[in-house]
Structure 1
Amino acid sequence: MSSIESNKAIARRFLELVSEHKIEELCKMVSPSWTMHGGPPALPSGPDGIRKLFGTFGAIEQEWTIEDVISEGDKVVVRATNTCDQASFLGIPSHGRKQTFTAMFIHQIADGKIIETWRNADDLGRLLQLGARFEPGTPQAST
């Protein structure tokens, strides 16, 4: 299997394990220096970052459906859809509503381990599904 194909398999497996909530198996997939961009702030590096990331979810049932996997060099891009049932998201209670949102991940992979992940997800759309409402701010007076 080419390194590009094996990297694609690693990226697919990562989301499968997220869906299955298999935290310790995910920890084995990342390097000790793994970092995530676009997730919760101040995640530690490596496996401790995975553990803290899952600690932010609370009770959740989720399933990732992979739509596309594109790879070049040491990077793999995954476009996926998540359907989840989570008690709350960013402080907004779900009141039993399931959420569906899209996300893209770019994983940098070296020696069979994910060393860096960039996440871009439709968090605003998800909040709106939960009934969050936004009000325009008031302009500040000039000084």
Structure 2
Amino acid sequence: MSANTDQNKKTVLRLYEEAGNQGRLEVLDEITCPDHVEHYPFPGQAQGVAGLKQRVSMIRAAFHPRFTIEHVVAEGDTVVVMWRNDGVHEGEWFGFAPTGKAVTARGADIHLLRDGRLAEHWDVVDISGFLFAVGAVPAPAATGADR
């Protein structure tokens, strides 16, 4: 793995640990391109560094998240992360009033970096754990393996 690829992985991991888990939004000014592109923005989310700060702030306000990185794959300027986010539904989330319930979401993110900074982001997120926890969708019946 090239030194550049290794540094790109470290930069992406800072997004989850320092901004996501610790709430240090100022780190995004350092690691994000000013014209950052969010390919699947939240409703009302802006583009650029301001939009990424907005996104992280929304997640933190709703869940006080704890991101755990499960897999990281990097090639050149592309870094793919599979993560788990455990939190408590403490704030409004797209029309869902706070429930105080523990929630888990899982997802995979693709980050494209330019000159060592976050430039573009795509994601796929499984929110079924959230929907089950807040009662929006009935949880599936437990199987013998789950007991």
Shorter-chain TM-score tier: 0.7 to 0.9
Structure 1 residue aligned with 2:74, among 71, 75, 88? 71
Structure 1 residue aligned with 2:43, among 41, 44, 53? 41
**SS at 2:26's partner residue?**
helix
Q: Where does residue 10 of structure 2 map in the other structure?
A: 9
Q: Where does residue 86 of structure 2 map in the other structure?
A: 83
Q: Where does residue 119 of structure 1 map in the other structure?
A: 123
Separation in 2, partners of 1:37, 1:123: 18
Q: Where does residue 133 of structure 1 map in the other structure?
A: 137
**SS at 2:136's partner residue?**
coil
Could you tell me which runs of 5 or more consecutive residues in structure 2 were left unpaired when the two chains were aligned: 139-147
More deviation, 22-31/66-75: 22-31
Separation in 2, partners of 1:44, 1:93: 23
- Percent of aligned pairs sharing the same letter: 28
Separation in 1, partners of 2:107, 2:135: 20
- TM-score, structure 2 normalization: 0.80
Separation in 2, partners of 1:82, 1:11: 16
Query: Which has more radius of gyration?
Result: 1
Question: Structure 1 pair 89/124, CA: closer, same or farther in 2 (3 Å)?
Answer: farther
Aligned pair count reads: 134
Separation in 2, partners of 1:53, 1:82: 15
Q: After superposition, where does 1:100-119 map in structure 2 within 5 Å?
A: 100-119=104-123
Q: Where does residue 100 of structure 2 map in the other structure?
A: 96
Q: In the TM superposition, what whole-angstrom CA distance separates every residue of 1:56-91 from its partner, at most 9, and x where no partner exists?
A: 343531110000000112100000100012323222
- TM-score, structure 1 normalization: 0.82
Decide which structure has greater strand share: 1
Separation in 2, partners of 1:127, 1:91: 12
More deviation, 113-122/123-132: 123-132
**SS at 2:27's partner residue?**
helix
Separation in 2, partners of 1:44, 1:94: 24
CA contact (8 A) 2:68 2:85 kept: yes
Deviating runs (4+, > 4 A) in structure 1? none
More deviation, 122-131/3-12: 122-131
Alignment-mate amino acid for residue 49 of structure 1: G
Offset, 1:101: 1.4
Offset, 1:21: 1.1
Offset, 1:55: 4.5
